A = this chain, B = another copy of it.
Amino acid sequence: MWLDLSHMDKKEYLLMAEELVFGHQNPDTDAIVAAIAFAHLQQQRGYDTEAVALGEVNEETAYALDHFNHQAPRVITRASVEVKKVMLVDHNEPQQSVSDIADVKVTHVIDHHRIMGFDTSEPLYYRAEPVGCTSTILWELYNEENVTIPADIAGLMLSAIISDTLLFKSPTTTPLDQQAVKSLAKIANVDYETYGLEMLKAGTDLSSKSEQELIDLDAKSFDMSGHSVRVAQINTVDLDDVLARQTALKTAIQAEISEQHYDLFVLIITNILNSDSEAVVLGSDQGKAAFEKAFNKQLVNDRANLPGVVSRKKQVVPQLTEAY
């Protein structure tokens, strides 16, 4: 492979890290923070790493970065133009990763999701645990390696755990996540409950966003028995606020389905205060039937209420995968 570096000056070229570290597309707080925290840990262990992102940070993440006075990672769209090796955090499925993931070697993965379609030709370092957040695993790694967590990174890590677990309300929460937040709060010197709710609320200011942006804010694609399924989630403190925009949301979803050929698009709108969700579901008849089977619910006007459902990973994706 030939590297086109003509767009860089010599100083930039010399500053290039050997390995990039990044989370999934449409990054949430954990995808951004886990990249920052793992890149830092690996630097202490002698690796030449840089944390980058596969998209701009969302408002919740921006709030956390601002609060702990840390820069957002730069955004990349391709990795192989810069490096030969990468480290993945908070994801492993190729369709959630950088577009040219097939052209680079993955040397490390730190993740807390199912494993799907992730194939390598050589052994690698892979650390996954069924906990609420990648940053919880990173907290363990820092402790195992006896590496000090800087106060700003500790603040970001607890932000990621609070974000992924909705302040411990999500069923994905484990005792380890809670233990990590309490330990990190001491390092970051923050009242995690007060701060956490403020951060979550900062992420629910949706008024400035277009419908197109809303359905792409926290969306992931999944391959289910050969069908392409998109599951998006919006957090809010006022469900009616979002549902008032239902018609325009459906138009935006329908446009994405046509463009990306999704078999099914599920938009989960979650009230973070009472942990209930409303689903807007569009797609093929087969896809909608899979949804109805998965949740044992009839769709009415392409909608279904999902009381107590807050976790895409634990309460939506396995059920849909099973139904397909």
A positions within 8 Å CB-CB of B: 112-130, 144, 313-314, 317-318, 321-322
Contact A130 B125, beta carbon cutoff 8 Å: yes
Contacts of A117 in B (CB 8 A): 119
Contact A123 B113, beta carbon cutoff 8 Å: yes
Interface of chain A, helix or strand or loop or mixed? loop
Which of A115, A130, A322 has the largest count of B CB atoms less than 10 A from its CB? A115
Contacts of A113 in B (CB 8 A): 123
A-B contact list, 20 entries, CB within 8 Å: A112-B123, A113-B123, A114-B120, A114-B121, A114-B123, A115-B120, A116-B119, A117-B119, A121-B318, A121-B321, A121-B322, A123-B128, A123-B130, A123-B313, A123-B314, A125-B130, A126-B128, A127-B127, A127-B128, A144-B144
Copy number in this complex? 2
In the assembled complex, the Cα of A116 lies from the Cα of B121 at a distance in Å of 8
Contacts of A126 in B (CB 8 A): 115, 126-128
A128 contact from B125, B130, B144, B321, Cβ within 8 A = B125
Which of A123, A126, A130, A318 has the largest count of B CB atoms less than 10 A from its CB? A123
Contact A125 B114, beta carbon cutoff 8 Å: no
Q: Residue of B at shortest CB range from A132?
A: B123
Contacts of A114 in B (CB 8 A): 119-124
* CB proximity of A125 to chain B, nearest CB, Å: 5
Q: Residue of B at shortest CB range from A116?
A: B119
In the assembled complex, the Cα of A299 lies from the Cα of B322 at a distance in Å of 48
* CB proximity of A176 to chain B, nearest CB, Å: 12
In the assembled complex, the Cα of A119 lies from the Cα of B112 at a distance in Å of 14
